[in-house]
Structure 1
Amino acid sequence: MQASPVTDTRAPAAALHPCRLRWNQPWQWLALGVRDVLRAPAIALFYGLCFWAMALMMAWVFRASPEYAMAMASGCLLVGPFMAMGLYEVSRQLELGGAPRFSESLTCWERNLSGMGMLVMVLLVLEMLWARAAMVVFAVFFDTGMPTTATLMQTLLRWENWEFLAVYAAVGGVFAALVFASTVVALPAMLDRGTDALTACITSMRVVCLNLPVMALWGLLIAALVILSMGWGGVFLLIVGPVLGCASWHAYRDSVAGDAAAPAGEEGT
């Protein structure tokens, strides 16, 4: 049976108004993400396998060259949102009452090719800076010899390495926060509304600034779920990855209003 066509409801790029969010909404986004995954399990499984493959690759890098682990993690953090675009499209089609199509989830980025290309270039530059910063931190602050995989935790937890751990975490946290703030609703907005990269990133940062505690909770939930799912060889990413991808679509839908919405400062709580 052929699926019903999905109507394109993308709004003009100028119609982007950040909305105020409530504390309980991140949990609602996760519940909606689970619902969408259950409604499109085959497509979700494909993207779950992709996320799992990323985890396996990162584990291999961690074992082979621990000094490149942060660079690999940053690369996955940048690639992950683009991979999740197919899941945004799944949730978008479900929201419009249509049946998700695997082929459309793979090619949805073509609707805003120029904007996506610009954002990819910006994030690639950011990833290279992040990787270089990680290597500099290792070179400057890690002076007890490069650890092997077997002795990594023992070496890192030695008292003389506290400065390295603090700086390493701080540098990684800054870059992670920057990527999160600039992309948390940017990619869904570009997919849904045809928004250009600059407008989408600025809107994403405005959403985060307006709802800093709630978006910080959302970021911590994402980080916690990803870290917890890395156990058992990252196999839990088969489920967690698609759920977070679909949930991120609903986070965008609650965070950005269209033409009829009031400016951010007038949104209700």
Structure 2
Amino acid sequence: MVLRPLGLGAPLRWLTLGLRDLARAPAVGLFYGAGFWLMAAVLGWVFRTQPEYTMSLASGCLLLGPFLALGLYDASRRHEAGQAAHLGQSLVCWRSHMGSMGMLVLVLIVLELLWGRASLVVFAVFFNTGLPSTTGVMQAVFNPENWEFVAVYTLVGGVFAALVFASTVVSIPMILDRDTDAMTAAITSMRVVVENPGVMLWWGALITLLVGLSLWPWGAGLLVTGPLLGHASWHAYRAALEPQEPVPSE
């Protein structure tokens, strides 16, 4: 796979193109946006009731999110080809890629399980004031006595989030577009991150910022931000890799 160099202005261009795709098929975007909103609602409920499992569920959301965005990638691909995007088509676009997608799911599940186990260990070792109650989660977590917990929890979460991000930033749209095997797609995705660290860090920061802003109030902003980022991620993939050469006819 031949990679393209990326400039720091590229992520803003991807967002602009993603917004254009969202405007072209708003019904498709709203459907998947509702899925992102539902994930955020469940994550918020777990944070309030069982905060020690928040990191585990967050890893699960990071696992499910890219696959939920698969339908958005399909819509953007159809727009790029001058075709109309339909919800029904987006819901079944994975059928011809089940082998590769299944293998990538297994890899990400392993990361998720390791992340969840690590988060529980961090809670057990570093949380000094007892598990927080449902009425005082934020007060307990940010108690000055728990500063070591906050630091280690953030560090561990950041490492696993970076691994998930690096392995999926272009791998899933690549599988959809080129029917590549999972390992090749994941390795190519990591190569994109390694060869464009500044741009990918900026892209990851933009994603984090937009998602964070969308969580207030009640995560409703994800109805728009979720599909916007999904469409934009397709354009990130297209910008990062040279187009596939057509197979010569015999």
TM class by shorter chain equals: over 0.9
Select the residue among 127, 138, 158 that pairs with 1:142: 127
Deviation at 1:259? 4.9
Aligned partners of 1:160 and 1:60: how far apart in 2? Answer: 25
Is the aligned partner of 1:209 residue 2:185? Answer: no
Deviation at 1:232? 1.1
Select the residue among 223, 230, 236 that pairs with 2:208: 223
Q: Is the 8 A contact 2:127 2:146 kept in 1?
A: yes
Tell me which moved more, 131-140 or 153-162: 153-162
Is the aligned partner of 1:155 residue 2:140? Answer: yes
Q: Is the 8 A contact 2:72 2:231 kept in 1?
A: yes
Q: Is the 8 A contact 2:48 2:137 kept in 1?
A: no
> Paired residues, what number?
245
Give the TM-score of the pair, scaled to structure 1. 0.89
Q: Is the 8 A contact 1:17 1:203 kept in 2?
A: no
Aligned partners of 1:206 and 1:174: how far apart in 2? Answer: 17
Deviation at 1:150? 2.5
Task: Give the aligned partner of residue 13 of structure 1.
Answer: none
Q: 1:103-114 alignment to 2 at 5 Å?
A: 103-114=88-99
Deviation at 1:158? 2.1
Aligned alpha-carbon RMSD (Å): 1.0
Deviation at 1:149? 3.2
Counterpart of 1:171, as a letter, is V
Task: Give the aligned partner of residue 165 of structure 1.
Answer: 150
Give the TM-score of the pair, scaled to structure 2. 0.96
Runs of 4+ off more than 6 Å: none
Q: 1:240-255 alignment to 2 at 5 Å?
A: 240-255=225-240
Counterpart of 1:108, as a letter, is C
Aligned partners of 2:121 and 2:199: how far apart in 1? Answer: 33
Deviation at 1:78? 1.0
The one-character-per-residue Cα deviations of 1:123-162 (angstroms, maximum 9, x if unpaired) are 1111111111000000010021111233222222222211
Q: Secondary structure at the match of 1:108?
A: coil
Select the residue among 23, 38, 45 that pairs with 2:23: 38
Q: Is the 8 A contact 1:62 1:68 kept in 2?
A: yes
Aligned partners of 1:63 and 1:161: how far apart in 2? Answer: 18
Q: Secondary structure at the match of 1:232?
A: coil
Structure 1 runs not aligned, ≥5 long: 1-15, 261-269
